[in-house]
C-alpha cells in the first residue's frame, strides 16, 4: 500500500477524486454495482480506505457521481439516435413506437448506466449525507429536463406531460434491468421447469415493449 500524501491544492484534490472515480468506473466494467466494495476500490487506488473517504463520504457517494456522469454521456448521444429513428412526418403513435425503440437501442452499449439506474433508489441514495443527496437530486432533475426536452422534439404532443414521461422512463429502465438479471437460483428454477421460463425477460425486448406502452399511454392522456 502506498503511503498517503495529502493533496495540498484544489487541483491535487480534484486529480485524486478523478483517479478514484476512474478506478471505480473500471471496476463497474468488470462487476455489478453490488460487488463494488470500498476495500477493493482502496486496494486498486493504492490508498487506505480512510483516505479514500477523505474525498468521498461513502461508496454510494462515489457511485452517485458516476451515475450522473454516465447519465449525461447517454443523454448527449440520444439526439443522434432519435433523429435517425423518428420520422417527424409520421403519426404520433408511430413516433411513439420509434421513440421507444430508439431509447432502448441507445442503452445496449450502456450496461453500467442501466446497472446504476437499477440501484439508484434502493441502494445508492442510502448511506449519503443530505448534502450529497441534494446535490445528486439537483443533477438528476437537470438530466430529466434534458430527456424531457428531447422527447418533446419528437413528440411535441406530450406538452406538459414530457417531464413525467422522462421520469417514468428512467424508473422503468432500472426495473426492467433488475428483472432481466435473474439470480443463479432463479436460472436453475427456469431450467428445471420450462413453464417458469415465461418469467425470464430479454432486457431489450421487454424494455421496448414497456416504453412503447408507457409513451403511447402518456400521449393518450394528453389528448382532448
**Boundaries of every domain in the chain:** 1-56, 58-222
Question: How much is the average pLDDT of 170-185?
Answer: 95
DSSP secondary structure string, 33-49?
A: GGG--HHHHHHHHTS-H
Q: Which residue has the higher pLDDT, 179 or 8?
A: 179
The fold adopted by the segment(s) 58-222 is Tetracycline Repressor; domain 2 (1.10.357)
The mean of the pLDDT values for the chain is 93
Give me 171's grid cell. 424508473
Residue found under cell 439506474: 117
Residue in 128, 158, 164 with CA at minimum distance from that of residue 144: 164
pLDDT over threshold 90, residue 3: no
pLDDT over threshold 70, residue 224: no
CATH 1.10.10 fits 1-56, yes or no: yes
Cα separation of 23 and 42, whole Å?
Answer: 9
Q: What is the CA radius of gyration of the chain?
A: 20
Contact 154, 99 (CB under 8 A): yes
Q: How does pLDDT run across 102-135, given as a tens digit for each residue?
A: 999 999 889 999 999 999 999 999 999 999 999 9
Question: How much is the average pLDDT of 6-13?
Answer: 72
End-to-end CA distance of the chain: 66
Q: Which residues 6+ apart lie within 8 Å of 148 measured at CB?
A: 162, 163, 165, 166
Q: Which residues of 204-224 are buried (b: 16+ CB within 10 A; e: fewer)?
A: eebbbebbbebbbebbeeeee
Tell me, yes or no, if the pTM score tops 0.85: yes
Amino acid at each position: 500500500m502506498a503511503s498517503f500524501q495529502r493533496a495540498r491544492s484544489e487541483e491535487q484534490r480534484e486529480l485524486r477524486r478523478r483517479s478514484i472515480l476512474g478506478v471505480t468506473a473500471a471496476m463497474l466494467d468488470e462487476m455489478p454495482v453490488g460487488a463494488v466494495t470500498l476495500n477493493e476500490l482502496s486496494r486498486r487506488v493504492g490508498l487506505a480506505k480512510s483516505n479514500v473517504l477523505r474525498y468521498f463520504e461513502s461508496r454510494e457517494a462515489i457511485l452517485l457521481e458516476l451515475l450522473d456522469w454516465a447519465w449525461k454521456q447517454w443523454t448527449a448521444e440520444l439526439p443522434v439516435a432519435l433523429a435517425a429513428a423518428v420520422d417527424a412526418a409520421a403519426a404520433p403513435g408511430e413516433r411513439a413506437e420509434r421513440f421507444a425503440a430508439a431509447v432502448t437501442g441507445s442503452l445496449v452499449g450502456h450496461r453500467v448506466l442501466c446497472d446504476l439506474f437499477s440501484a439508484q433508489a434502493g441502494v445508492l441514495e442510502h448511506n449519503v449525507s443530505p448534502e450529497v443527496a441534494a446535490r445528486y437530486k439537483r443533477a438528476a432533475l437537470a438530466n430529466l429536463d434534458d430527456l424531457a426536452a428531447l422527447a418533446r422534439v419528437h413528440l411535441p404532443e406530450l406538452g406538459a406531460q414530457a417531464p413525467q414521461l422522462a421520469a417514468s422512463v428512467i424508473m422503468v429502465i432500472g426495473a426492467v434491468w433488475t428483472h432481466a438479471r435473474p439470480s443463479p437460483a432463479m436460472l436453475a428454477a427456469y431450467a428445471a421447469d420450462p413453464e417458469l421460463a415465461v418469467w425470464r425477460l430479454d432486457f431489450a425486448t421487454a424494455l421496448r415493449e414497456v416504453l412503447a406502452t408507457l409513451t403511447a399511454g402518456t400521449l393518450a392522456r394528453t389528448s382532448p
